[in-house]
Amino acid sequence: MSSADKFQQAVANRHQYAREWKQRTGGRVAGYLCTYVPEEVFYAAGMLPVRIIGSHEPESVTSPYIFGMFCSHCRDCLAQGLQGRYDYLDAVSTAHCCVHSFQTFDSWRRHIPVEHFYYVSMPQLIQSRGAQRSMLAEVTVLKERLEADLGRSIPASAMEQAIGVYNRNRRLMRQVYELRQRDNPPITGAECMEMVMASQVMDKEEHSRLVESLLKEFEAAPPVREVGVRLLVAGQTDSADVVRVIEELGTTVVADDLCFGSRYFWNEAVDGKDPLAALAQRYLERPPCPMKDLHGVRVRPGYLLDMAKEYRVQGAILIRQQFCDPHEYDMPAIKRLLEENGIPALIMEQDITIPLGQLRTRVEAHLELVQQEIA
Protein backbone atom coordinates (compact mmCIF):
# COMPACT_ATOMS: atom_id res chain seq x y z
CA MET A 1 0.00 0.00 0.00
CA SER A 2 1.42 3.43 -0.91
CA SER A 3 1.74 6.08 1.75
CA ALA A 4 -1.04 8.08 0.09
CA ASP A 5 -3.34 5.06 0.42
CA LYS A 6 -2.36 4.74 4.05
CA PHE A 7 -3.47 8.32 4.69
CA GLN A 8 -6.79 7.63 3.03
CA GLN A 9 -7.21 4.52 5.17
CA ALA A 10 -6.30 6.40 8.32
CA VAL A 11 -9.04 8.95 7.69
CA ALA A 12 -11.59 6.31 6.74
CA ASN A 13 -10.77 4.18 9.80
CA ARG A 14 -10.21 7.05 12.22
CA HIS A 15 -12.51 5.70 14.93
CA GLN A 16 -10.87 2.29 14.90
CA TYR A 17 -7.43 3.94 14.97
CA ALA A 18 -8.31 6.01 18.04
CA ARG A 19 -9.83 3.05 19.85
CA GLU A 20 -6.78 0.89 19.15
CA TRP A 21 -4.45 3.70 20.21
CA LYS A 22 -6.32 3.93 23.50
CA GLN A 23 -6.11 0.23 24.07
CA ARG A 24 -2.45 0.07 23.15
CA THR A 25 -1.27 3.04 25.18
CA GLY A 26 -3.85 3.30 27.92
CA GLY A 27 -3.96 7.00 27.06
CA ARG A 28 -6.86 9.38 26.63
CA VAL A 29 -8.30 10.87 23.47
CA ALA A 30 -9.37 14.51 23.08
CA GLY A 31 -11.63 15.49 20.20
CA TYR A 32 -11.55 19.04 18.89
CA LEU A 33 -13.70 20.98 16.45
CA CYS A 34 -11.71 24.06 15.55
CA THR A 35 -8.06 24.03 14.50
CA TYR A 36 -7.34 27.05 16.68
CA VAL A 37 -7.30 24.69 19.67
CA PRO A 38 -3.63 24.56 20.73
CA GLU A 39 -3.65 20.79 20.59
CA GLU A 40 0.03 20.55 21.50
CA VAL A 41 -1.12 20.98 25.12
CA PHE A 42 -3.17 17.78 24.92
CA TYR A 43 -0.30 16.02 23.23
CA ALA A 44 2.11 17.16 25.95
CA ALA A 45 -0.32 15.70 28.49
CA GLY A 46 0.07 12.31 26.80
CA MET A 47 -3.31 12.47 25.07
CA LEU A 48 -4.19 11.85 21.44
CA PRO A 49 -5.83 14.94 19.97
CA VAL A 50 -8.17 14.07 17.09
CA ARG A 51 -10.20 16.38 14.93
CA ILE A 52 -13.93 15.71 14.89
CA ILE A 53 -14.97 15.06 11.31
CA GLY A 54 -18.39 14.41 9.86
CA SER A 55 -19.51 11.32 7.96
CA HIS A 56 -21.12 13.24 5.08
CA GLU A 57 -24.41 11.39 5.31
CA PRO A 58 -27.91 12.81 5.57
CA GLU A 59 -29.02 12.95 9.20
CA SER A 60 -32.02 14.01 11.20
CA VAL A 61 -30.72 13.77 14.75
CA THR A 62 -29.47 17.35 15.14
CA SER A 63 -32.64 19.26 14.27
CA PRO A 64 -33.95 19.47 17.85
CA TYR A 65 -30.71 21.15 18.93
CA ILE A 66 -29.33 23.14 15.99
CA PHE A 67 -31.40 25.57 13.97
CA GLY A 68 -31.62 24.63 10.30
CA MET A 69 -29.73 27.76 9.23
CA PHE A 70 -26.53 26.56 10.88
CA CYS A 71 -23.82 25.18 8.60
CA SER A 72 -24.00 21.63 7.38
CA HIS A 73 -20.48 20.86 8.60
CA CYS A 74 -21.40 21.68 12.19
CA ARG A 75 -24.58 19.67 12.03
CA ASP A 76 -22.68 16.74 10.50
CA CYS A 77 -20.12 16.84 13.32
CA LEU A 78 -22.74 16.93 16.05
CA ALA A 79 -24.59 14.08 14.36
CA GLN A 80 -21.49 11.91 14.79
CA GLY A 81 -21.52 12.58 18.51
CA LEU A 82 -25.25 12.02 18.89
CA GLN A 83 -24.98 8.74 16.98
CA GLY A 84 -22.30 7.52 19.36
CA ARG A 85 -19.47 7.35 16.85
CA TYR A 86 -17.16 9.30 19.13
CA ASP A 87 -18.00 7.38 22.29
CA TYR A 88 -14.29 6.86 22.95
CA LEU A 89 -13.57 10.55 23.56
CA ASP A 90 -12.42 11.53 27.02
CA ALA A 91 -12.56 15.25 26.28
CA VAL A 92 -14.01 17.60 23.71
CA SER A 93 -12.57 20.99 22.94
CA THR A 94 -13.03 23.91 20.63
CA ALA A 95 -11.73 27.43 20.27
CA HIS A 96 -13.72 30.62 19.90
CA CYS A 97 -14.62 30.75 16.23
CA CYS A 98 -18.05 31.13 14.66
CA VAL A 99 -21.43 30.69 16.38
CA HIS A 100 -22.00 27.56 14.31
CA SER A 101 -19.07 25.67 15.78
CA PHE A 102 -19.90 27.03 19.23
CA GLN A 103 -23.40 25.62 18.85
CA THR A 104 -21.99 22.19 18.01
CA PHE A 105 -19.67 22.33 20.99
CA ASP A 106 -22.41 23.48 23.35
CA SER A 107 -24.91 20.88 22.16
CA TRP A 108 -22.23 18.22 22.53
CA ARG A 109 -21.69 19.41 26.07
CA ARG A 110 -25.42 19.23 26.79
CA HIS A 111 -26.34 15.91 25.27
CA ILE A 112 -23.33 13.65 24.88
CA PRO A 113 -21.63 12.33 28.00
CA VAL A 114 -17.92 13.20 27.90
CA GLU A 115 -15.75 13.58 30.97
CA HIS A 116 -14.20 16.96 30.19
CA PHE A 117 -14.94 19.92 27.96
CA TYR A 118 -12.44 22.67 27.19
CA TYR A 119 -13.45 25.90 25.53
CA VAL A 120 -10.56 28.05 24.37
CA SER A 121 -12.03 31.53 24.45
CA MET A 122 -9.35 33.00 22.22
CA PRO A 123 -9.44 36.56 20.89
CA GLN A 124 -10.91 37.14 17.44
CA LEU A 125 -9.08 40.39 16.79
CA ILE A 126 -5.78 38.61 16.49
CA GLN A 127 -3.90 41.71 15.40
CA SER A 128 -4.92 43.75 18.40
CA ARG A 129 -2.23 44.64 20.86
CA GLY A 130 -3.74 42.64 23.70
CA ALA A 131 -4.29 39.50 21.65
CA GLN A 132 -0.95 37.85 22.50
CA ARG A 133 -1.50 38.30 26.23
CA SER A 134 -5.08 37.11 25.98
CA MET A 135 -4.13 34.04 23.94
CA LEU A 136 -1.30 33.23 26.32
CA ALA A 137 -3.80 33.38 29.18
CA GLU A 138 -6.03 30.95 27.28
CA VAL A 139 -3.22 28.47 26.59
CA THR A 140 -2.15 28.69 30.21
CA VAL A 141 -5.69 28.12 31.48
CA LEU A 142 -6.06 25.13 29.17
CA LYS A 143 -2.84 23.62 30.49
CA GLU A 144 -3.80 24.25 34.12
CA ARG A 145 -7.27 22.81 33.69
CA LEU A 146 -5.84 19.73 32.02
CA GLU A 147 -3.33 19.32 34.82
CA ALA A 148 -6.09 19.56 37.40
CA ASP A 149 -8.33 17.11 35.55
CA LEU A 150 -5.55 14.60 34.94
CA GLY A 151 -4.08 15.02 38.39
CA ARG A 152 -0.52 15.52 37.16
CA SER A 153 1.56 18.40 35.94
CA ILE A 154 2.67 18.93 32.38
CA PRO A 155 6.34 19.89 32.62
CA ALA A 156 7.87 22.52 30.32
CA SER A 157 10.03 19.79 28.79
CA ALA A 158 6.88 17.90 27.69
CA MET A 159 5.51 21.10 26.16
CA GLU A 160 8.77 21.67 24.31
CA GLN A 161 8.80 18.11 23.10
CA ALA A 162 5.22 18.35 21.85
CA ILE A 163 6.00 21.57 20.01
CA GLY A 164 9.01 19.87 18.42
CA VAL A 165 6.91 16.92 17.27
CA TYR A 166 4.26 19.19 15.81
CA ASN A 167 6.75 21.48 14.11
CA ARG A 168 8.47 18.55 12.47
CA ASN A 169 5.16 17.26 11.20
CA ARG A 170 4.32 20.70 9.81
CA ARG A 171 7.71 21.03 8.12
CA LEU A 172 7.34 17.66 6.43
CA MET A 173 3.86 18.47 5.15
CA ARG A 174 5.11 21.78 3.81
CA GLN A 175 7.77 19.88 1.88
CA VAL A 176 5.00 17.89 0.25
CA TYR A 177 3.06 21.08 -0.51
CA GLU A 178 6.13 22.63 -2.14
CA LEU A 179 6.23 19.76 -4.61
CA ARG A 180 2.83 20.95 -5.84
CA GLN A 181 4.49 24.02 -7.31
CA ARG A 182 6.13 21.80 -9.93
CA ASP A 183 4.83 21.61 -13.49
CA ASN A 184 3.88 18.01 -12.72
CA PRO A 185 2.92 17.82 -9.07
CA PRO A 186 3.53 14.29 -7.80
CA ILE A 187 0.47 14.42 -5.57
CA THR A 188 -3.14 15.29 -6.19
CA GLY A 189 -5.13 17.76 -4.15
CA ALA A 190 -7.32 15.00 -2.77
CA GLU A 191 -4.29 12.98 -1.66
CA CYS A 192 -2.79 16.05 -0.07
CA MET A 193 -5.96 16.75 1.82
CA GLU A 194 -6.03 13.17 3.05
CA MET A 195 -2.46 13.56 4.23
CA VAL A 196 -3.44 16.62 6.28
CA MET A 197 -6.63 15.06 7.59
CA ALA A 198 -4.71 11.93 8.57
CA SER A 199 -2.41 14.19 10.56
CA GLN A 200 -5.48 15.46 12.42
CA VAL A 201 -6.54 11.98 13.48
CA MET A 202 -3.26 10.12 13.94
CA ASP A 203 -0.41 10.22 16.38
CA LYS A 204 1.86 12.94 15.01
CA GLU A 205 5.09 10.96 15.14
CA GLU A 206 3.58 8.03 13.32
CA HIS A 207 2.14 10.42 10.78
CA SER A 208 5.48 12.12 10.26
CA ARG A 209 7.07 8.77 9.49
CA LEU A 210 4.42 8.20 6.84
CA VAL A 211 5.03 11.63 5.32
CA GLU A 212 8.75 10.83 5.17
CA SER A 213 7.95 7.59 3.32
CA LEU A 214 5.72 9.54 0.95
CA LEU A 215 8.53 11.97 0.16
CA LYS A 216 10.88 9.04 -0.46
CA GLU A 217 8.36 7.42 -2.79
CA PHE A 218 8.18 10.65 -4.78
CA GLU A 219 11.98 10.80 -5.02
CA ALA A 220 12.19 7.21 -6.25
CA ALA A 221 9.36 7.29 -8.79
CA PRO A 222 7.17 10.36 -9.00
CA PRO A 223 3.70 9.36 -10.17
CA VAL A 224 2.81 10.52 -13.66
CA ARG A 225 -0.56 12.10 -14.17
CA GLU A 226 -2.19 14.48 -16.61
CA VAL A 227 -2.19 17.81 -14.76
CA GLY A 228 -4.92 19.64 -16.67
CA VAL A 229 -6.12 22.92 -15.21
CA ARG A 230 -4.20 23.98 -12.10
CA LEU A 231 -6.65 24.96 -9.42
CA LEU A 232 -6.73 26.54 -6.01
CA VAL A 233 -9.42 25.36 -3.61
CA ALA A 234 -10.35 27.59 -0.69
CA GLY A 235 -13.16 27.91 1.79
CA GLN A 236 -14.48 25.03 3.83
CA THR A 237 -14.91 21.33 3.21
CA ASP A 238 -13.85 18.32 5.22
CA SER A 239 -14.24 15.94 2.32
CA ALA A 240 -11.30 14.94 0.13
CA ASP A 241 -13.89 13.33 -2.12
CA VAL A 242 -15.08 16.80 -3.09
CA VAL A 243 -11.57 17.60 -4.28
CA ARG A 244 -11.42 14.21 -5.99
CA VAL A 245 -14.59 15.00 -7.92
CA ILE A 246 -13.05 18.28 -9.05
CA GLU A 247 -9.86 16.51 -10.11
CA GLU A 248 -11.71 13.80 -12.01
CA LEU A 249 -12.85 16.53 -14.33
CA GLY A 250 -9.44 17.25 -15.86
CA THR A 251 -7.87 19.38 -13.16
CA THR A 252 -5.27 19.20 -10.43
CA VAL A 253 -5.76 21.07 -7.22
CA VAL A 254 -2.25 22.40 -6.58
CA ALA A 255 -2.96 24.69 -3.65
CA ASP A 256 -5.54 25.09 -0.95
CA ASP A 257 -6.61 27.36 1.85
CA LEU A 258 -8.69 25.00 3.97
CA CYS A 259 -8.58 24.25 7.65
CA PHE A 260 -8.49 20.61 6.56
CA GLY A 261 -5.54 21.62 4.40
CA SER A 262 -2.79 24.21 4.52
CA ARG A 263 -4.37 26.46 7.12
CA TYR A 264 -4.03 23.67 9.64
CA PHE A 265 -0.27 23.34 9.60
CA TRP A 266 1.26 26.20 7.62
CA ASN A 267 3.30 27.91 10.34
CA GLU A 268 5.38 26.56 13.17
CA ALA A 269 5.60 27.52 16.81
CA VAL A 270 8.87 29.42 16.96
CA ASP A 271 11.17 28.33 19.76
CA GLY A 272 11.38 30.78 22.54
CA LYS A 273 12.02 30.85 26.23
CA ASP A 274 8.42 30.09 27.08
CA PRO A 275 6.76 27.24 25.17
CA LEU A 276 3.27 28.48 26.05
CA ALA A 277 4.05 31.94 24.65
CA ALA A 278 5.44 30.30 21.52
CA LEU A 279 2.21 28.38 21.13
CA ALA A 280 0.06 31.46 21.68
CA GLN A 281 2.00 33.30 19.00
CA ARG A 282 1.80 30.40 16.58
CA TYR A 283 -1.97 30.28 16.72
CA LEU A 284 -2.34 34.01 16.36
CA GLU A 285 0.01 34.13 13.39
CA ARG A 286 -1.30 31.19 11.40
CA PRO A 287 -3.09 31.94 8.13
CA PRO A 288 -6.38 33.34 9.38
CA CYS A 289 -9.82 31.88 8.87
CA PRO A 290 -12.59 34.39 8.10
CA MET A 291 -13.50 34.71 11.78
CA LYS A 292 -9.97 35.81 12.62
CA ASP A 293 -9.64 38.19 9.69
CA LEU A 294 -11.67 40.99 11.18
CA HIS A 295 -9.43 43.89 11.83
CA GLY A 296 -9.77 46.62 9.25
CA VAL A 297 -9.12 45.66 5.67
CA ARG A 298 -9.27 41.93 5.02
CA VAL A 299 -5.92 40.13 4.63
CA ARG A 300 -7.26 36.87 3.20
CA PRO A 301 -7.84 38.02 -0.40
CA GLY A 302 -4.24 39.23 -0.73
CA TYR A 303 -2.93 36.13 0.98
CA LEU A 304 -4.84 33.90 -1.44
CA LEU A 305 -3.70 35.89 -4.45
CA ASP A 306 -0.07 35.42 -3.39
CA MET A 307 -0.68 31.71 -2.97
CA ALA A 308 -2.36 31.52 -6.36
CA LYS A 309 0.65 33.16 -7.98
CA GLU A 310 3.16 31.01 -6.13
CA TYR A 311 1.44 27.82 -7.22
CA ARG A 312 0.66 29.18 -10.71
CA VAL A 313 -3.02 28.38 -10.52
CA GLN A 314 -5.32 29.01 -13.45
CA GLY A 315 -8.59 29.05 -11.62
CA ALA A 316 -10.04 28.87 -8.15
CA ILE A 317 -12.98 27.11 -6.58
CA LEU A 318 -14.26 28.69 -3.42
CA ILE A 319 -16.25 26.08 -1.54
CA ARG A 320 -18.76 27.30 0.97
CA GLN A 321 -20.77 25.06 3.21
CA GLN A 322 -24.45 25.85 3.02
CA PHE A 323 -25.28 28.50 5.62
CA CYS A 324 -21.64 29.22 6.44
CA ASP A 325 -21.79 32.97 6.76
CA PRO A 326 -18.17 33.57 7.85
CA HIS A 327 -16.85 32.35 4.50
CA GLU A 328 -19.70 33.99 2.66
CA TYR A 329 -18.62 37.41 3.95
CA ASP A 330 -15.12 36.94 2.51
CA MET A 331 -15.80 35.19 -0.75
CA PRO A 332 -17.02 38.11 -2.88
CA ALA A 333 -13.86 40.05 -1.94
CA ILE A 334 -11.61 37.06 -2.65
CA LYS A 335 -13.34 36.35 -5.96
CA ARG A 336 -13.06 39.99 -7.00
CA LEU A 337 -9.33 40.22 -6.29
CA LEU A 338 -8.49 36.91 -7.94
CA GLU A 339 -10.49 37.83 -11.04
CA GLU A 340 -8.93 41.27 -11.23
CA ASN A 341 -5.68 39.35 -11.49
CA GLY A 342 -6.85 37.05 -14.25
CA ILE A 343 -7.77 34.05 -12.10
CA PRO A 344 -11.39 33.03 -12.66
CA ALA A 345 -12.96 32.05 -9.37
CA LEU A 346 -16.19 30.25 -8.74
CA ILE A 347 -18.12 30.20 -5.52
CA MET A 348 -19.63 26.79 -4.98
CA GLU A 349 -22.10 26.07 -2.24
CA GLN A 350 -22.07 22.60 -0.77
CA ASP A 351 -24.10 20.71 1.76
CA ILE A 352 -21.62 18.18 3.02
CA THR A 353 -24.38 15.78 4.02
CA ILE A 354 -25.77 15.51 0.50
CA PRO A 355 -24.31 12.73 -1.67
CA LEU A 356 -21.61 13.92 -4.04
CA GLY A 357 -23.42 12.82 -7.21
CA GLN A 358 -25.32 16.07 -7.25
CA LEU A 359 -22.16 18.04 -6.71
CA ARG A 360 -20.42 16.58 -9.73
CA THR A 361 -22.90 18.12 -12.14
CA ARG A 362 -22.46 21.53 -10.59
CA VAL A 363 -18.66 21.27 -10.55
CA GLU A 364 -18.70 20.27 -14.19
CA ALA A 365 -20.74 23.31 -15.11
CA HIS A 366 -18.41 25.47 -13.05
CA LEU A 367 -15.34 24.00 -14.68
CA GLU A 368 -16.65 24.63 -18.14
CA LEU A 369 -16.78 28.25 -17.17
CA VAL A 370 -13.23 28.16 -15.81
CA GLN A 371 -12.01 26.51 -18.98
CA GLN A 372 -13.79 29.08 -21.14
CA GLU A 373 -12.22 31.87 -19.19
CA ILE A 374 -8.75 30.34 -19.41
CA ALA A 375 -9.09 29.71 -23.17
Partner 1 sequence: MAVQQRYPTRPLECWGKLEELRRRLVRDTYSARERGDLVVLGGPGPLPSVLCGLGGFQLLSPMPIGPDMQDLRLLTKMNELATAQGYGNDCCATLRIALGSMLMDRFGMNKRTGEILKPDIHFESLACQGQMKAQQLYQEYYFQLPSFVVEMPWQEEPRQADVDYLESQLQEAVEWLQKTTGREFNDELLAEGWLNEWRSRIYFSRIMEYQAAVPAPLDQKMLASFATLMWRGAMHLPEIRDFYKEAADEVAVRAKEGIAALATERCRLFHEGPVPWYPSNVLRYFNRYGAVCIGSWLYCTEFGNFTVNEDGSWDVCPMPEDMGLPLKTRDDILHSMAVVFTRYNPRPQLGARIDHRVNMARHFKVDGAVFALDRGCLGNTCGAMESIVAFKEAGLPVTSYEGACANPSELDQGEVVSRIDAFMESLGLKPLEPGRPLLQAEVGG
Q: Which residues of this protein are in contact with partner 1, per CB under 8 A?
A: 63-67, 69-70, 96, 98-100, 102-103, 106-107, 109-110, 119, 121, 123-125, 128-131, 133-134, 137-138, 141, 290-291, 294-298, 322-326, 328-333, 335, 347
Residue 23 binds which entry of partner 1, ligand SF4, none, CB below 5-8 Å type-dependent: none
Cβ atoms of 321 and 352 closer than 8 Å:
yes
Residue 141 binds which entry of ligand SF4, partner 1, none, CB below 5-8 Å type-dependent: partner 1
- In the complex, the smallest distance separating the C-beta of residue 63 from partner 1, rounded to whole angstroms, is 8
If the CB atoms of residues 200 and 321 are measured against ligand SF4, the closer one turns out to be 321
Instruction: Decide the pairing of beta strands 345-350 and 315-321.
Output: parallel
Query: Which of these ranges, 70-78, 205-213, 244-252, 280-288, lies near ligand SF4 under the rule CB under 6 A?
Result: 70-78
CA–CA separation, 52 vs 293, rounded Å? 23
321 is a contact residue toward ligand SF4 (CB under 6 A) = yes
Query: Measuring CA to CA, which residue among 325, 333, 365, 345 is closest to residue 74?
Result: 325
How far is the CA of 4 from the CAs of 9, 183, 211, in angstroms?
A: 9, 20, 9
Cβ atoms of 10 and 48 closer than 8 Å:
no
If the CB atoms of residues 85 and 145 are measured against partner 1, the closer one turns out to be 145
Task: Enumerate residues 230-259 that contact ligand SF4 by CB under 6 A.
Answer: 236
Query: Measuring CA to CA, which residue among 11, 1, 63 is closest to residue 190?
Result: 11
Residue 74 binds which entry of partner 1, ligand SF4, none, CB below 5-8 Å type-dependent: ligand SF4
Neighbours of 287 (CB within 10 A): 19
CA–CA separation, 178 vs 307, rounded Å? 11
- In the complex, the smallest distance separating the C-beta of residue 162 from partner 1, rounded to whole angstroms, is 23
Residue 61 binds which entry of ligand SF4, partner 1, none, CB below 5-8 Å type-dependent: none
327 is a contact residue toward ligand SF4 (CB under 6 A) = yes
If the CB atoms of residues 17 and 70 are measured against ligand SF4, the closer one turns out to be 70
If the CB atoms of residues 34 and 316 are measured against ligand SF4, the closer one turns out to be 34
| Burial label, 235 (beta-carbon count in 10 A; 0-12, 13-18, 19+) | buried
- 232: phi then psi, degrees, rounded to nearest 5: -110, 135
Cβ atoms of 290 and 329 closer than 8 Å:
yes
Angle subtended by helix axes 72-82 and 99-111, to nearest 10: 10
Query: Which of these ranges, 54-62, 69-77, 83-91, 146-154, lies near ligand SF4 under the rule CB under 6 A?
Result: 69-77
Sheet containing 229-235: order of strands: 251-257, 229-235, 315-321, 345-350
Q: Which residues pair with 49 in a beta bridge?
A: 30
Provide the strand spans (E) within 106-152: 116-120
73 is a contact residue toward ligand SF4 (CB under 6 A) = yes
If the CB atoms of residues 47 and 66 are measured against ligand SF4, the closer one turns out to be 66
Residue 121 binds which entry of partner 1, ligand SF4, none, CB below 5-8 Å type-dependent: partner 1
- Kindly write out the interface string for residues 87-116 of this chain, putting x where it contacts ligand SF4 by CB under 6 A and - elsewhere: -----------x-xx---------------
Instruction: Decide the pairing of beta strands 29-32 and 48-51.
Output: parallel
Residues 250/319/63/113 CA torsion (nearest 10 deg): 90
If the CB atoms of residues 48 and 98 are measured against ligand SF4, the closer one turns out to be 98
- In the complex, the smallest distance separating the C-beta of residue 19 from partner 1, rounded to whole angstroms, is 29
Give residues in contact with ligand SF4 (CB under 6 A).
71, 73-74, 98, 100-101, 236, 321, 324, 326-327
